[in-house]
Amino acid sequence: MSNTVTIQSVELYKLYIPLIEPFITSLGTDEAAENVVVKIFTNEGIIGFGECSPYMPINGESQASCFITGQYFAKALKGKNALDIEGCIALMDSIIYANTSIKSAFDMALYDIASQHAGVPLYKFLGGDNTKTIITDYTVSIGEPEKMAADAVKIKNQGYPAIKIKLGKNGKKDVERIRAIRKAVGNEIPLRIDANQGWKVNEAIETLNALHEFDIQHCEEPIARWKFMKLKKVKKNSPIPIMADECCGDDHDAERLIELDACDYFNIKLGKSGGIFKGLKMVRMAEAANIHLQVGAMIESRLAMTAFAHFSLCSPLIEHFDFDTALMFREDPVTGGIQYKANGVVEVPEVAGLGATIDESWLSKMEKVIV
């Protein structure tokens, strides 16, 4: 088997799909997925697919910026060895700082090519096994307590085993939101909360202590990402475990948070890490420090969500899965990929590579550029 698979051309597509209803967090409101799909062609006929869902408040990228930056990467990667993933990542990093969302789409496509070339499913290529049951939570957008409680009841009745709740707009009101939800759904179903940086430091501590009685599994990113030096104080004074999200982008962030002893969990999102290559570094760091993990998402389709599921099988410390946003799409453009089963169970495809593509009828309708 050859150790060289040459990149011949790259296609970039703008994917736009409205959501069933607006997705609302403390950072803003999203009414559609505005993503970028990357398709890498090689001399061996292997085609790799990747996708990113840029989110301006978190990674500072938009669909438009990813579409432009992706063309720089495509031009630079033409003629390069797709199997030299580390070299391709280093090349992209040398071209432009950050831009982790679009980098993750190229990273994903490269891993799709490499695992297809190896003839194994992506999770196996990453050293994982498919013995763990992946079960996604489902998210309640932030709003009025009564609406949030009603949404939570729907999620419980659909059989999801855990409910994730967006908070971060006034700590005292957030307590009322959780009180209403817990009253509506009862005490058996786990609740997870995500403040999306919405609280001040003291407000976070007060709110987390007030929420303790409602049996919360963990809280994501309680304070502003740039206040990471204060996150240890929140963790020390919180009865609820703290999960770093926005302040935990790549492996450098993970190293810093471990040194600070700032959190109990990492939420790894490939759109923040820059892709699987750096995400794996974060997993190994977390394993060494006994930091438990969640793998999360932005607003990706089942294409990228399939990569996240494969990635989730690489370590036993990955124990929470936040893969619900693909279920919020009005239409599904993906062929193959993960399958959502009853009660939040996610099944990973047992085929070589990623095992997911965008349907050609969809691609033909999208704005694209060929490099």
- pLDDT per residue over 84-120, tens digit each? 999 999 999 999 999 999 999 999 999 999 999 999 9
Q: For 133, which DSSP code?
A: P
Mean pLDDT of 216-231: 97
Q: Where in the chain is the domain with CATH 3.20.20.120?
A: 124-356
In degrees and rounded to multiples of 5, residue 354 shows phi and psi of -70, -40
Q: Which of 103, 269, 272, 278 is catalytic?
A: 269
For residue 1, pLDDT beyond 80: no
For residue 365, pLDDT beyond 80: yes
**Residue 263 is which amino acid?**
C
Q: Which of 11, 203, 220, 251 is catalytic?
A: 220
- pLDDT per residue over 145-172, tens digit each? 999 999 999 999 999 999 999 999 999 9
DSSP state string for 99-124: -HHHHHHHHHHHHHHHHHHHTSBHHH
Q: Which of 34, 194, 250, 324 is catalytic?
A: 194
Mean pLDDT of 244-251: 97
Please indicate whether residue 253 is annotated as part of the active site: no
Please indicate whether residue 245 is annotated as part of the active site: yes
Listed residue (359, 368, 364) closest to 334, CA to CA: 359
- Residue 237 pLDDT level (bands cut at 50, 70, 90): very high
For residue 313, pLDDT beyond 90: yes
For residue 24, pLDDT beyond 80: no
What confidence score (pLDDT) does residue 23 get? Answer: 79
Report residue 261 CA to chain centroid gap.
23
In degrees and rounded to multiples of 5, residue 168 shows phi and psi of 110, 10
For residue 180, pLDDT beyond 90: yes
What confidence score (pLDDT) does residue 339 get? Answer: 97
Domain 124-356, second-level architecture: Alpha-Beta Barrel (3.20)
Please indicate whether residue 124 is annotated as part of the active site: no
Tell how strand 28-42 and strand 318-321 pair up.
unpaired
Please indicate whether residue 250 is annotated as part of the active site: no
Q: Which of 30, 34, 203, 245 is catalytic?
A: 245
Listed residue (315, 297, 303) closest to 194, CA to CA: 297
The CATH number of domain 7-119+359-370 is 3.40.50.720 = no
Q: Taking each helix axis as running N to C, give the angle between helix 276-289 and helix 100-118, from 0 to 180 degrees, rounded to the nearest 10.
A: 90
Q: Which of 103, 156, 164, 166 is catalytic?
A: 166
What confidence score (pLDDT) does residue 196 get? Answer: 95
Mean pLDDT of 289-308: 97
Please indicate whether residue 230 is annotated as part of the active site: no
Mean pLDDT of 221-239: 97
Distance CA 15, CA 268 (A): 23
What confidence score (pLDDT) does residue 219 get? Answer: 98
For residue 26, pLDDT beyond 80: no
In degrees and rounded to multiples of 5, residue 178 shows phi and psi of -70, -40
- pLDDT per residue over 47-69, tens digit each? 999 999 999 988 899 999 999 99
Q: Where in the chain is the domain with CATH 3.30.390.10?
A: 7-119+359-370
For residue 254, pLDDT beyond 80: yes
